[in-house]
Structure formats: structure tokens, C-alpha cells
Amino acid sequence: MNSKTYKYIIAFSILALLIVTGLLLIRNPAETENIPVNKNQSVIEDYRNSGDRYPGNSSQVIKEAGMVPVYGNWRTFTTKDGLPSDKAYTVRIDGDRVLVGTHDGMAVYENEKWKTYTTKDGLAHNGVVSVDVDELTGDVWIATLGGLNRWSGGKFETFNQLNSGMPNDLVYNVFCYGAHIWVATGGGAGHYDTRTRQWEIFTEMNAPMHEPWTYALSAGDGKVWIAAWGGGVIEYNTETSQFRDYVDPDGFMEIDLQPDDGVIHDITTATAYSDSILWVSTYFGMSRYDGKNWKGYFDHDSGLASNFINFIRAEGKVVFVCCDNGLSSTDGTTWVTYKKDDDSENGKAIITYGTEKKEIPLSPSISHNFIIGVDACGDFLWAATSKGVCRGELIK
């Protein structure tokens, strides 16, 4: 072979190498940031990020769904089954039992039976809107419309704005983070240190929120994210005790002028943090934040059931989204949305991947399209709706 031939071979090899490298990079993008080490409560984070609560996925059966699980074989529970009220506000899976907050008390599903607890048993108020479980102690914390309860060893202990440092009795959300119990209330957010029994509360007086109405919060990796009504997301660093806020840079209430420039809207209803991703729900869409980049989702450009989102919960890579017109779930790319037909118990799971859609009929389906609460653990997904709670099983 002459030298010209060698030159062509070398050039061709280099080009081939570049193409292969490029393909590899596209398929396996490098990490854009180091996942911060959680110095607080590593046991908690290990548990939360472990596979124990991570929902499985249905990719073996429904390839289109990818890593997003698909649930079927839905079963609905109402007052006929022992629920105290069909208006279910929240649901939380705690090992072998499920805790449901309703309009008329807290219902506990265990050994296929429902048992209800009300103010007669020591609940602060029968309107139970949020429940969380302290992973270390097993204590159940219950947010009600009239105070906060700790339920431990069968006994209720009440915290309210009169007998403690809690900011307000209208407790919308409770979140257990290490030794601290965080609450979002109508009069501010705050946390209770279970070891020193001290409250530290935040309102517009000492935090970057323009009013004290807070709806929900979540935490992870040393930070707490408060969904502040009309105030976007308030981030609190538990190590430095510093705040920062994330507000809609557009400033316009109805238009997402510049896509993906920040949180999608300031009327935030919930935050959820998992796998180093912060999810934010609003009444006007949903946002995803990886620490550097924001991504917004609307019902017209994604598989989101509706822009009006009541609540979200993230488990692993997947976030479950409670909308007023269905239950959605996504890993940011693929969507699985559950909707019930108006005139029957049936419905469907709509899988949206890219521009493609696939519908899987479900019979029965979820109990109602107005979803208020959700929790997923292992093979089960529970949803709290205005017509009872429903439970789906992972389609494998």
C-alpha cells in the first residue's frame, strides 16, 4: 500500500473513533454535578433512597413505559368498606399498613381491615390532610386542620399554636426529616426538634416568603423546600440556616414567557425531592430542577393529566402527580397517566413517550379523577381522591 492509502486509513479510523465516541456520549451523558453528601441523618437518606420504597417498573411488560411503573388491578375503598369518609385527603404507606387522612378522621388499613381514629381518640381535628412516618422511631405525625398530632405506641399527643411553638393550627403538610418534624401551615412553616422540643418557625418576618401561607414541604440532602402559596419555593439549608427562594422569573401569572427559566409558577402546591431531583407542583403546571437546570411541564406539551396539581410525591426517579383530572407519573421523559371514564368504573393508563402515546384499558380504574394524595411503595400505588382511596398493583 502506498502512503496515500495509509493516510486514508488513518483519517478514516480517526473519523470512526470520533463517531463512536460521540455516540457513546449521547447515550451516557456524564454527571453534570456531584451529588452532595448528606451530612445529616445519613441513615434516613439511605432508607429513603433505598429500594425499599422504590416502585418497580413495568418495562418488562410495557416497554413504552420505560422506567415508569404502570399499575393496574385497581381496587377502591369507600365508606362501604369501612373508610370514615369518601373525601380522602392523603395517603401514606407504612410497612404493612396504610394510613389515610380523610374528612372524618384518620383511617388505618391493616390486615385487610379499616380502623378509624377521630378526635375522640385524641386526634386534634378530624380533617386529616397529611401524614408522615418517622423512619427511625416509627412515630406517625398527622397534620390536621386543627393542629398536629404525634401518634406513637397507640397514643396521640397534640401540638397546637396555643400549647407549643407551632405557627398555626391549620397544618397542611408534615414531613419527617431526621430528628426534625417540618410543618407547612397557614401561618408559616417551621420545624420541631424532637430532641430539644424546640420549635423554629418561619414566616414573611424572617424568611423570603411574601406571606406566611405554606402548603407543603419536602427535604433531602440537608435542604428543605417549602411550597409557599404565591411565593414559589423557599429553600432552607439546614446546615447554614440560610434561605434562598425560587420564583417564576416571568412574573406573569398565566404565561410561561420563557420556558424552563425557573419554577413554572409561584402558586406552588407541593415539592418533592428524590434522587437529587426537586419536583415542584403548582396550579399551573409542574417543574423539575436538578440543581442547575429547570424544566417545566404543561398538559399541552407532556403527558401531564392537568396543569392544576394538588400534590406530588417522588419515589426514586419517578414522581407521582395528583391532578384535578387524573393521576400522572413520570421520570421527566416518559409519562403514565391514569384516568377514569366518566360513566363507568373503567378507565385507562395513557403512556406518553416522546410524541407517541399508548393507551392501556384498565378495568376497574382509579376511583376518581380528582386526586388529592398519593403514595407508592414496592408493588403498590395508593391514591386519595374525593371518592375514596384506591390501590393499584404494579403490572409486571
Partner 1 sequence: MKRYLKLSITAVLILAVVALIYPPYSRWARDHVNKITATTDHPVRCGSCHLYLQKPGFISKLVNAEYHSPFNLAVSEDGRSLYVVAEESNKLLVVDRESRKITHEIGVGVRPHSIVIDRGGKTAYVSNQWSDNVSVVDLASFHVKEALKTGNGPAGIGLSKDEQSLFVVNSFSSDISVIDLKTSSERKRLTAGNNPTGLQSSPDRSMVYITSRRTLSKPFDDTIRCELTILSDGKQRISARKDIISAYMMENIAFTPSGDLALMPVVRPKNNVPTIQIERGWMMTGGIAVIEMKPEGRIAQLLLDEPNAYYADPFDISVTPDGKTAFVSHAGSDCISVVDIDAVREIIAGSTDELLEQYAHHLGISSRFVIKRIPTGANPKGLAISPDGKELYVAEHLDDRIGIVSTETLEMKERIDLGGPRRTTVNRRGRQLLNNAGGTFQNQYSCFTCHPDGHEDGLVYNMASKDMGRNMTNTQSLRNIGDTPPYKWNGKNQTVYKQDGMRFSTVLTRNEPFSYRDLDALTAYIMTGIPNPPNLLYNPAGELTDAQKRGKMIFERTHDFAGFEIPVSNRCVTCHPAPFFTNLQMVGVGTLAASDDSILFDTPHLNNIFASPPYLHDGRAATLEEIWTIYGKTEEHGAVNDLTKIQLNELIEYLKSLRDPDYEDGSNKTLKAAFGNK
Q: Per rule CB under 8 A, is residue 354 in the interface with partner 1?
A: no
* Nearest approach, Cβ of residue 167 and partner 1 (Å): 5
Residue numbers 25-64 binding partner 1 by CB under 8 A: 43
Burial class (CB in 10 A: 0-12, 13-18, 19+), 114: middle
- What minimum distance in Å lies between the beta carbon of 122 and partner 1? 11
Q: Output 152 or 325, the one with its CB closest to partner 1.
A: 152
Q: Please tell me the distance from the alpha carbon of residue 219 to that of residue 236, in angstroms, as a whole number.
A: 9
The residue count for the chain: 396
Rounded distance, CA 111 to CA 72, Å? 21
Q: Tell me the closest approach of the beta carbon of residue 205 to partner 1, in angstroms.
A: 6
193 vs 260, which CB is nearer to partner 1?
Answer: 193
> Which C-beta is closer to partner 1: that of 180 or that of 265?
180
CA distance 271 to 279: 6
Cα–Cα separations (whole angstroms), residue 221 to 30, 35, 293, 325, 355: 21, 9, 18, 32, 34
Give the binding-site size for partner 1 (rule: CB under 8 A): 32
Q: Please, which residue, 153 or 354, has the CB nearer to partner 1?
A: 153
- Which lies closer to partner 1 via its Cβ, residue 153 or residue 251? 153
- Of 194 and 218, nearer to partner 1 (C-beta) is 194
What residues numbered 90-149 form the site for partner 1, per CB under 8 A?
136-139
* DSSP per residue, 146-197: TEEEEEETTEEEEE-TTTSS-S-S-EEEEEEETTEEEEEETTEEEEEETTTT
Alpha helices (H) in the chain, listed in sequence order: 3-27, 42-48
Smallest distance from partner 1 to CB 249, Å: 30
Answer for the pair 320, 328: CB distance below 8 angstroms, yes or no: yes
The single residue among 55, 147, 187, 222 that binds partner 1, judged by CB under 8 A, is 187
Residue 56 to residue 96: CA distance in whole angstroms: 17
Which of 243, 293, 234, 294 minimizes the C-alpha distance to 266? Answer: 234
Q: Residue 173 is placed in which grid cell?
A: 403538610
Q: Which of residues 149-178 bind partner 1 (CB under 8 A)?
A: 150, 152-155, 157, 161-165, 167-168
CB of 183 to partner 1, least distance (A): 13
Smallest gap, in angstroms, from Cβ of residue 155 to partner 1? Answer: 4
Q: Min. distance of Cβ 269 from partner 1 in angstroms?
A: 24
Q: Which is nearer to partner 1, 41 or 302 (CB)?
A: 41
Interface with partner 1 in residues 193-232 (CB under 8 A)? 194-201, 203, 205-206
Residue closer to partner 1 (CB basis): 203 or 271: 203
Q: How far is the CB of 84 from partner 1 (least distance, A)?
A: 24
Q: Which amino acid is at 106?
A: M
Q: Name which of 78 and 152 has its Cβ closer to partner 1.
A: 152
Q: What is the closest distance, in whole angstroms, from the C-beta atom of residue 50 to partner 1 in the complex?
A: 17
Q: Determine how many CB atoms are found less than 10 A away from the CB of residue 82.
A: 14
SS3 state of residue 48: helix
Residue 13 to residue 306: CA distance in whole angstroms:
51
**Which residues contact partner 1 (rule: CB under 8 A)?**
43, 136-139, 150, 152-155, 157, 161-165, 167-168, 179, 187-188, 194-201, 203, 205-206
